[in-house]
């Protein structure tokens, strides 16, 4: 698939996820076959002040390319300015028009833009003109049941110059409940000539194949199922190529990747922060292992990365015996 001038390989895309898709995790997912990875959403207002936190969010490395930065905001001029200033580190710029969090939508950002298509189109136009690289957008099915406007909304974005649209098949009011609606993704795909990426509930080869078959979308994006499970990308790629399901990773593989993830995070952000942030990741890497619940409780109390590594090793090797 090609998004504007950027060639994207076959395979699923890693969804932007706040607090999760930091640089080390993105690099791991790319290594396991993700075709494209996204930063979490970054506020253009925070970039204006160059907070240390925003700077870390913007770190990138050659191993993760192609990589997209996801920006959010509601001011077309500021969005365009920040896209031009920061976009050069990235292959693509993605605009967040789907975040349902109250704090975000109250400020007229994220999914609130789906209620204001004129402003969304203006943002898209300004960013496309300023960015000097392909600009994509991530939207939802609509705001709520009464306003499922993904098709018209996506058409306006295409007219404004957007190079690809990702559709999460839920409305803002559904948040993450119920099942993603594949029909709305199919309708957007039918209406647009640019690539359409389907998103929502893809967690395996068969569910990726179903999304592609039932919507005709050009690629699928995986969010929650990738947490603690970057292998999902090689599983999807293998299934789409052969129709066969790969076995999951062994305990030793899980342990190795979890440890590598923690060390990469420590190299980027320091031991203390990495140990804190790895608690949730380690718990996800444990998913499905025998004795995981007890091990998770210990992990939450661990004070250092090495303490965590030891606990995880004990738990995963006990699970294998
Ligand atoms: C913890 C978490 C954080 C998320 N952060 C973002 C974000 O920063 N930007 C965004 O566009 N979507 C965000 N999402 C939504 C995901 O990108 C994705 O659209 C959603 O999880 C549905 O896909 P899935 O069923 O594969 O998880 C987030 C989702 C989760 C669970």
Measured in Å, residue 314 CA sits from the centre of ligand 1 at 31
Statement: residue 321 has pLDDT above 50: no
Q: Give the closest residue (by CA) to ligand 1 atom 15.
A: 17
Burial of 293 (0-12, 13-18, 19+ CB in 10 A): exposed
Yes or no: domain 251-320 corresponds to CATH 1.10.1200.80: yes
**Torsion, CA 46, CA 52, CA 58, CA 59, rounded to 10:** 180
Average pLDDT, the chain: 95
Whether this prediction's pTM lies above 0.75 is answered by yes
- Residues 250 and 255: their CA atoms lie apart, in Å, by 9
Does residue 168 have its Cβ closer than 6 Å to ligand 1? Answer: yes
Q: How far is CA 239 from CA 26, 79, 207, 223, 236, in A?
A: 22, 39, 10, 18, 5
pLDDT tens-digit map of 63-111? 999 999 999 999 999 999 999 999 999 999 999 999 999 999 999 999 9
Residue 293: pLDDT band (50, 70, 90) is confident
In terms of average pLDDT, the best of 44-58, 69-83, 297-311 is: 69-83
| Ligand 1 atom with the shortest distance to the CA of 98 | 11
Looking at residue 110, the DSSP 8-state letter turns out to be: G
- Residues 210 and 238: their CA atoms lie apart, in Å, by 15
83 close to 131: Cβ distance less than 8 angstroms: yes
Write the CATH number of the domain with boundaries 2-242.
Answer: 3.20.20.70
Question: Angle formed by the axes of helices 205-215 and 232-242, to 10°?
Answer: 60
Q: Give the closest residue (by CA) to ligand 1 atom 3.
A: 17
35 close to 11: Cβ distance less than 8 angstroms: yes
- Residues 132 and 83: their CA atoms lie apart, in Å, by 9
Domain boundaries, the chain: 2-242, 251-320
- Residues 198 and 215: their CA atoms lie apart, in Å, by 8
Q: What sections of 132-270 are H helices per DSSP? A: 150-160, 182-191, 205-215, 232-242, 251-269
From 119, 39, 106, 112, select the one nearest 79 (Cα to Cα): 119
pLDDT tens-digit map of 129-151? 999 999 999 999 999 999 999 99
């Amino acid at each position: 698939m090609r998004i504007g001038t950027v060639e994207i390989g076959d395979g699923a895309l890693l969804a932007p996820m706040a607090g999760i898709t930091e640089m080390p995790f993105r690099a791991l997912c790319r290594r396991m076959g993700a075709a494209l990875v996204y930063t979490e959403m970054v506020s253009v207002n925070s970039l204006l002040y160059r907070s240390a936190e925003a700077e870390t969010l913007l770190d990138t490395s050659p191993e993760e390319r192609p990589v997209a930065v996801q920006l959010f905001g509601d001011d077309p001029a500021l969005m365009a300015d920040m896209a031009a200033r920061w976009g050069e580190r990235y292959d693509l710029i993605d605009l967040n028009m789907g975040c349902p969090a109250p704090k975000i939508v109250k400020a007229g950002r994220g999914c609130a833009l789906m209620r204001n298509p004129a402003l969304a189109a203006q943002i898209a136009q300004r960013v496309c003109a300023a960015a000097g690289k392909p600009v994509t957008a991530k939207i939802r099915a609509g705001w709520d049941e009464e306003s499922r406007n993904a098709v018209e909304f996506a058409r306006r974005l295409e007219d404004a110059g957007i190079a690809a649209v990702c559709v999460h098949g839920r409305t803002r009011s559904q948040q993450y409940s119920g099942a993603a609606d594949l029909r709305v993704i199919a309708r957007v795909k039918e209406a647009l000539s640019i690539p359409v990426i389907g998103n929502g509930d893809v967690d395996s080869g068969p569910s990726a194949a179903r999304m592609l078959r039932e919507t005709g979308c050009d690629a699928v994006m995986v969010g929650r199922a990738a947490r603690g499970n970057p292998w999902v990308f090689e599983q999807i790629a293998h299934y789409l190529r052969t129709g066969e399901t790969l076995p999951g990773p062994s305990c030793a593989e899980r342990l190795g990747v979890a440890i590598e993830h923690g060390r990469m995070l420590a190299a980027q952000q320091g031991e203390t922060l990495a140990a804190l942030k790895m608690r949730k990741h380690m718990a996800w890497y444990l998913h499905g292992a025998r004795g995981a619940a007890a091990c998770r409780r210990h992990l939450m109390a661990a004070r250092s990365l090495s303490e965590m590594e030891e606990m995880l090793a004990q738990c995963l090797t006990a699970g294998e015996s």
